[in-house]
Amino acid sequence: MAIIELRHVVRAMPHGARLRKRRGRLLKPVKPSHKVELWYKQQLLAVVAKLRKIVREELLPELKRMEPLYAASDGITRDAKVPRRPLESTFQRMGQRIGGIEQTANRLAALAVQRSADTVDDRLKAAIKSSVGVDISPVLTQSGPILDALRAATKDNIDLIKSIPEQYFEKLGDAVGKNMERGMRFEDLAKEIERIGDVTESRAKLIARDQTSKMNGAFNQARQTSLGIDKYQWQTSGDERVRPEHDANDGDVFRWDSPPATGHPGHDVNCRCVAIPYFDLDKEEELLGL
């Protein structure tokens, strides 16, 4: 269907502008946007920073106040039972302060998805225009496969953003409970809490990096297939961090409807590989009536 729409676009162009570079078969790769990744990372780190601020203002003072009840003295753990209710109240209070995470997740996910989709469209348009002289702008509607990809990416990112405070508080609760029972001193417990915050920051960075790549791959696939481009050439980032199985795919041509055992580029966590649109220009010219 899309190739029929594309045919109309080509026929409306001046004859001299049609498929200028007829011998070229590969287009420029549509790579993940570093700008989008940086923006997304900053937004997620802001969420983590707010979480850490709440913990420093609510949990740490409470743990300091309660230190005589749980900290070991001269290597001997105190027999006194640590009251649990004050900590439960503290965690409830912290959860209330981070209220609105649902709205934050919805807003950030929608923006990240739209920015990624816009980047894919802009770069794919430029690649096709440069290679074959066709302006595909008229057929880039947000319906069909691309709409499905947008919805799936939005849901995935909402879930991931909401999981940041959920996992953070869960890790904090486990660490505080276990280490208080062991008689850990406040200074050491505070260091453990900071370490959990650092781990949460690292996870936020991974989410931004991984999802930017995944969205780029998903939107690129949806756009290419909707335009009738059924093949792509695998391209790695060409460095030592490339997975061996992905390196084995480098340079090979695959069909979108028949993925390799590794899945398409960008499917694996932190995969930085890209799918270069592969045109069979003889077939395209026949389909386009040239």
Per residue, the 3-state secondary structure of the chain, as one string, reads: CHHHHHHHHHHCCCHHHCCCCCCCCECCCCCCCHHHHHHHHHHHHHHHHHHHHHHHHHHHHHHHHHHHHHCCECCECCCCCCCCHHHHHHHHHHHHHCCCHHHHHHHHHHHHHHHHHHHHHHHHHHHHHHHHCCCCHHHCCCCCHHHHHHHHHHHHHHHHHHHHHHHHHHHHHHHHHHHHHCCCCHHHHHHHHHHHHHHHHHHHHHHHHHHHHHHHHHHHHHHHHHCCCCEEEEECCCCCCCCHHHHHHCCCEEECCECCCCCCCCCCCCCCCEEEEECCHHHHHHHHCC
In a domain, 50, yes or no: yes
Q: What's the average model confidence in pLDDT over 174-199?
A: 94
> Tens digits of per-residue pLDDT, 92-116?
999 999 888 999 999 999 999 999 9
In a domain, 192, yes or no: yes
Please say if the pLDDT value at position 160 is more than 50: yes
Q: In this predicted model, which residue has the larger pLDDT, 80 or 142?
A: 142
In a domain, 4, yes or no: no
Please say if the pLDDT value at position 27 is more than 50: yes
In a domain, 47, yes or no: yes
> Tens digits of per-residue pLDDT, 227-250?
888 888 898 888 888 899 998 998
Please say if the pLDDT value at position 131 is more than 80: no
The confidence score (pLDDT) of residue 82 equals: 58
> Tens digits of per-residue pLDDT, 56-68?
999 999 999 999 8
In a domain, 95, yes or no: yes
Domain extent, residue 179, equals 34-71+84-229
Q: In this predicted model, which residue has the larger pLDDT, 34 or 288?
A: 34
In a domain, 44, yes or no: yes
Q: What is the pTM of this model?
A: 0.84
In a domain, 258, yes or no: no
Q: How many domains does the chain have?
A: 1
In a domain, 246, yes or no: no
